[in-house]
Structure 1
């Protein structure tokens, strides 16, 4: 598992050194992304985002800056700033800089942590000034907060967790101590990141079940081995599902006469649906086959739970008229996933008046049943009263205009050219 570490150079280096010495180091790989200024946080993170499973920011400021700039594609956590880092800073300040710990300004830390630390040290807090971290906007005022108090003589030094604030105060000749997280805190943060990454991996590897069901309007009026139209439709539907399923490593199997079940992982299906924002399979089936289907997605802790949720989801898709796919997760959350809008070609195909009129004549002569929408040259020749050769040209012309979709050829018992069926597409 790859753990990204994003923050100032010194903290990133320290975390990677500590991480390399931990017993669990054999199970993870640390990827450092140090920055010089806090504003570079998201840029540095984005450079490694595709190569990591989880990201550990060196503090809440970096974490919040990254989240403000853009969506984080991986789980994220940060090193907490707590009172533990205050003890070492105060001791260092007293021994090395001669500061008065009762007259300092402190930023970032929660008030309860500061009060607890001073209480344990037996020092009063009447002369201690605190500016807590709220959001990145609050951090912009830290340097001014510290400098003003020092200029007024209210403090003997400033304690900050932020590297850029420490640099500004040093340039302004304000005594400053940078509070660094303890080694123990960094170890805990690394373990938290590892657990978060492991949980995300387990979540992505869970089973997802997708049920794709022919809409009632697309089903044949009778079923059975003698219904060749039904067999051709099932084969074409299976091929269309396989074309998309191969891209995600999913498997496709018939569920019954009118539906298929697609088995995938949550992670692979998330990629195929843009993070569960668009429906899977619907666009290809409607575009290539011209038939209506209902798609339901089920997630769950077990395959059985996922399958049960998929059946609930496909029922919701059926009630919506197949306008969208539905997802039902293990906790009962329901999502509606709209049809993906495929990019059209630069030039839209123009349906000729002649082709449109021929299609209208065919549909009028064939009727409205779903079986009637599958034709071959013999049927077209009979309906339009033309020669079979002319009928084949008509079907080729309709296919070129997007008004008919060629289905797999059907071999007959007699020798000769296999029968080439087409599915007519209503406009």
Structure 2
């Protein structure tokens, strides 16, 4: 089970990371050096399909890569706190005689830097720090450090960014770079290997696709013989056997028009694009998607996966023929696959169980509502919007909102008019 690891870093950091990776024969390394942070997306994109994970030499290259939105595998970066920072401060103090309060820092949070100095037994605290989230321009960091140095407030700058170090050197500012230590890199690599092992285990988890198919809708009219019925079912079985082989799984019948395919989680995630779409059954196997309702169950055992598959099928049937839902081993439900209104909700939330006891609404309904609000990015919604997301009638959605309002969980905050002659729609703000 080899790990294909992509490593992106500045020249000096990359050398340290590569030396650490060499100690792991199970890792195949793809090293990529960058000289400017803005080049990282172009360096990264051609290799997206070549690695299982990405390791970055620091926070900024990691943030630059994440902003592309193209990475679909686990990522990590090497932290600059701990031994990396201690080595730099030791050099400043013992070899140059510069105190911590005479130095400007960047990258770290005030909390982690203060905690580190306290643990290191350094009495004087820091005075100058520029913390940032995500990516930042090297020139912005250089401006921060240079201004303090020119004003005589500092004697040196400590930066975590290679390009900021180069810019400060160009400006004549005394600068010291915090580079990763081999021990720090080894710690991150061990974490990545554990993650890789866990993901491999997840990929081999059992998955069950429980499908209901109505092959008789394809028969012309309402007058057909039992032979035609049987031929339609045989043809469906032949198509599903090819689909099961494609999934590297096995097929069994579970009653008239109901079929069960046993396969693995990894294969299901592959054919559904990580639970986002429905497999192209018609193009590949000649099965009309509108005739298929499917529930996918993931479990630690075949029994658990089958139970989850049945539950997922019930959720799919609630939304009508042609819908696919997924029930994962963490008790969360996803779906419908391939639809814009796709949501995810859970069964095991203690908070929602308490709200369910307070209201007449089920945990499932409340969980769906919570997921819809999270997906919309706001707490306000009207009955028609709720009905559209939940695939229920507007009057049913109104009953849900009125029930929440009666218990103080929702309040009317305004009205909307869909058109000049239509009835205004109440807008509710919900606080779960």
Fold match, TM over 0.5?
yes
Measured in 1, the distance between the counterparts of 2:67 and 2:200 equals 25
Q: Tell me the residue number matched to 2:72.
A: 73
Q: Are the equivalent residues in 1 in contact too, given 2:290–2:321 (CA < 8 A)?
A: no
Query: Which whole-Å deviations, capped at 9, do the CAs of 1:207-265 have from their partners, x for residues lacking one?
Result: 21101112497499xxxxx9322322222212322344444423333233322212222
Alpha carbons of structure 1 residues 313 and 331: separation in structure 2 relative to 1, 3 Å: same
Q: Secondary structure at the match of 1:18?
A: helix
CA shift, 1:38, in A, is 1.6
- Residue segments in structure 2 that go unaligned for 5+ positions in a row: 220-224, 341-432
CA shift, 1:149, in A, is 0.3
Measured in 1, the distance between the counterparts of 2:86 and 2:284 equals 65
Q: Secondary structure at the match of 1:131?
A: strand
CA shift, 1:290, in A, is 8.4
Q: Are the equivalent residues in 2 in contact too, given 1:300–1:306 (CA < 8 A)?
A: yes
* 2:321 paired with 1:319: no
Measured in 2, the distance between the counterparts of 1:177 and 1:200 equals 39
Query: Which whole-Å deviations, capped at 9, do the CAs of 1:263-288 have from their partners, x for residues lacking one?
Result: 22222211211221112365459965
Q: Tell me the residue number matched to 1:271.
A: 270
Query: Which whole-Å deviations, capped at 9, do the CAs of 1:134-182 have from their partners, x for residues lacking one?
Result: 2214876321110110111100000000001001100000000001122
CA shift, 1:310, in A, is 0.7
Q: Secondary structure at the match of 1:102?
A: helix
Q: Secondary structure at the match of 2:25?
A: helix
Alpha carbons of structure 1 residues 219 and 309: separation in structure 2 relative to 1, 3 Å: farther
Query: Which whole-Å deviations, capped at 9, do the CAs of 1:282-326 have from their partners, x for residues lacking one?
Result: 545996558722111111222211111111111222222213211
Alpha carbons of structure 1 residues 178 and 291: separation in structure 2 relative to 1, 3 Å: closer
CA shift, 1:45, in A, is 3.0
Q: Tell me the residue number matched to 1:110.
A: 109
Q: Tell me the residue number matched to 2:417.
A: none
Q: Normalized against structure 2, the TM-score is what?
A: 0.70
Cα RMSD (Å): 2.8
* 2:11 paired with 1:6: no
Q: Normalized against structure 1, the TM-score is what?
A: 0.70
Alpha carbons of structure 1 residues 250 and 81: separation in structure 2 relative to 1, 3 Å: same
Instruction: Identify which of structures 1 and 2 has the higher relative contact order when contacts are C-alpha pairs closer than 8 Å and 6+ apart.
Output: 1
Q: Are the equivalent residues in 2 in contact too, given 1:3–1:194 (CA < 8 A)?
A: no
Q: Are the equivalent residues in 1 in contact too, given 2:57–2:77 (CA < 8 A)?
A: yes
Measured in 1, the distance between the counterparts of 2:36 and 2:312 equals 48
Aligned length: 332
Q: Tell me the residue number matched to 1:162.
A: 161
Measured in 2, the distance between the counterparts of 1:302 and 1:129 equals 55
- Residue segments in structure 1 that go unaligned for 5+ positions in a row: 221-225, 342-427
